[in-house]
Amino acid sequence: MNAEEVDRLSNLPDDLINKILSFSDTKDAIRTSVLSSRWKNTWKSIPHLDFSLDHLTSLPKFYECVNRVLPSRNNEIELESAKLDIHREVSQTFVKKILNYAFTHSVQKMTISYCFSRDIEFPMSLFISRSLKDLTLIGLSYHYTKITSTWDLPALTTLCLDGVKFKFGDNYNELCGLFSKCPNLKNLTLTKCEICHGCGPFITISHPQLSTLNVINGYQSYAINVVAPHLKFLTVVNCQGGLISAPELSSLTYEMQGHFTFSTDGLFSLEKVDFYICYPDKEDAPKIIDMLQQFRNVKYLTLGLEIVEVLASSVQLVSHLPSPFANLTSFKIYPANIDHFPRPLHKSQPSRMKEEEQENLKMPTEVKNYVLDGSPNAIVTIFSRQDMKALENAKAAQQILLELQMLLAKQKYKC
């Protein structure tokens, strides 16, 4: 057989074929059966399912595809992952059919995105699985999901909720109850989530095994209390905070556009802090200082330039205070990413240093002593706004150069 006649597709190992097809949705994976005689039935053994209405022109075709694929698939092959993308009014019965199939085939990772035209009662009771370890739920609508039950997912370790809008009753504990049957949950991410409830201004996130918590762009009508005895990593971006009770917390990232509201309870294990407030007022200085006092054990401290500017305008508050930082090895100052946070209309423009000071930023002696007297050998890194702008321009230029190199390579190939 000549080299031109070798069927290289048929000679690929099964693991590689499955890896290739895992990057396609199920419909496209089935289409590959025409590429090679060996690939005719390969799609039936792929350990991944991906049903998306984006790739199917109508709801009837979506139903037809699912009804054809599930019975034809090799039932002896367990599922590593399943993706369900619903952008129309798919019936709960049909959703249940797909979830039941995934759960009975020991699915380990599942991603569900949905968009409905009205408030719905999402079938949370369908999430009953002994195998599921990673769940991502993405809400793509302005409507709320009514919670009437809890997830029963004892193997779940990672949960990501993005754009999900929950509707609870008058008991805020229902949020904690949602995770109560997930005893091994370690990583929780809440992005652009809203919670409608009638219990008051606070929501408590509490879980005994939680290790990583990210709360990003939360709804501003309530504050979040964090009670997690084994929490190691906490990120809070543009979300009101209440009390942090996490004695084992080692890393904290906090970024807020206006007044910060977090208080802490014994963060003795904290080693790394990134602390930004995009639009602080001079009146925030006492609270900022109180917060910095809680960071006394940190080794790596990054402060937003705006915070340093507020401290510089209130040196009398720190001039008599000893430095709380005895273990500091790295101290950095970066401008907050204000582009991510529109300027609040009710707040006055924060004080800014003069341009010549920005180019070679120097902290007032009182502020410098407050931060560095306890750790005189700490490495100090300061980025002005001009530095950050230059860095952004350099990255943009690098991207343009990369695109030009790709275009040049294509032209060379054509020649």
Report yes or no: 279 and 350 within 8 Å, Cβ to Cβ.
Answer: yes
pLDDT, residue 272, reads 96
Burial code (b: 16+ CB inside 10 Å, e: under 16) for 343-360 equals eeeeeeebeebeeeebee
- What does residue 116 show for φ and ψ, rounded to 5 degrees? -120, 160
pLDDT, residue 70, reads 85
pLDDT, residue 379, reads 93
Q: Helices (H), strands (E): how many in the chain? A: 10, 20
Q: How far apart are CA 307 and CA 274, in angstroms?
A: 12
Check whether 340 has a pLDDT greater than 60: no
pLDDT tens, residue by residue, 258-279: 666 666 767 888 999 999 988 8
Least confident window among 15-19, 102-106, 342-346:
342-346
pLDDT, residue 1, reads 44
- What does residue 78 show for φ and ψ, rounded to 5 degrees? -75, 160
Check whether 37 has a pLDDT greater than 50: yes
Check whether 410 has a pLDDT greater than 80: no
**CA proximity to 130, closest of 150, 155, 105:** 155
Check whether 40 has a pLDDT greater than 80: no
Burial environment of residue 34 by CB neighbours within 10 A (0 to 12, 13 to 18, 19 or more): exposed
Q: How far apart are CA 219 and CA 205, in angstroms?
A: 15
- What does residue 64 show for φ and ψ, rounded to 5 degrees? -60, -45
Tokens 């009710």 sit on residue: 346
| Mean pLDDT value across the chain | 78
Least confident window among 15-24, 339-348, 349-358:
349-358
Least confident window among 77-81, 88-92, 129-133, 340-344:
340-344
Residues whose CB falls within 8 Å of the CB of residue 135, separated by 6 or more in sequence, listed in order? 109, 110, 111, 112, 127, 151, 153, 156, 158, 159, 160
| Run of H or E residues at 399 | helix 385-414
Residues whose CB falls within 8 Å of the CB of residue 375, separated by 6 or more in sequence, listed in order? 323, 325, 326, 327, 328, 329, 331
Check whether 187 has a pLDDT greater than 70: yes
Six token digits for residue 381: 């890194």
User: What is the rounded average pLDDT of the residues 74-98?
Assistant: 81
Report yes or no: 218 and 224 within 8 Å, Cβ to Cβ.
Answer: yes
C-alpha distances in Å from residue 246, one per residue of 157, 170, 180, 239, 252: 19, 26, 19, 18, 11
**CA proximity to 35, closest of 69, 16, 9:** 9
pLDDT tens, residue by residue, 111-160: 988 776 665 555 555 678 899 999 998 887 666 666 656 778 899 999 99
Q: How far apart are CA 64 and CA 89, in angstroms?
A: 15
Q: Which residue has the higher pLDDT, 164 or 202?
A: 164
Distance between the two ends of the chain, CA-based, in angstroms?
A: 32
Cα-Cα-Cα-Cα dihedral sign, residues 383, 384, 386, 388 = positive
pLDDT, residue 344, reads 47
Q: How far apart are CA 34 and CA 43, in angstroms?
A: 11
Check whether 57 has a pLDDT greater than 50: yes
Check whether 377 has a pLDDT greater than 90: yes
pLDDT tens, residue by residue, 303-317: 999 899 899 988 999
Q: Cα 240 to chain center, whole Å?
A: 17
pLDDT, residue 197, reads 57
Q: Which residue has the higher pLDDT, 323 or 28?
A: 323
Report yes or no: 298 and 271 within 8 Å, Cβ to Cβ.
Answer: yes
Kindly compute the dihedral angle of the four CA atoms of residues 44, 49, 53, 56, in this order, to the nearest 10 degrees.
Answer: -20
pLDDT, residue 68, reads 82
Check whether 72 has a pLDDT greater than 60: yes
Q: How far apart are CA 13 and CA 21, in angstroms?
A: 13
What is the three-class DSSP state of 292? Answer: helix
Q: How far apart are CA 296 and CA 379, in angstroms?
A: 17
pLDDT band at 25 (very low <50, low <70, confident <90, very high): low
Check whether 20 has a pLDDT greater than 50: yes
Report yes or no: 372 and 292 within 8 Å, Cβ to Cβ.
Answer: no
Check whether 360 has a pLDDT greater than 50: no
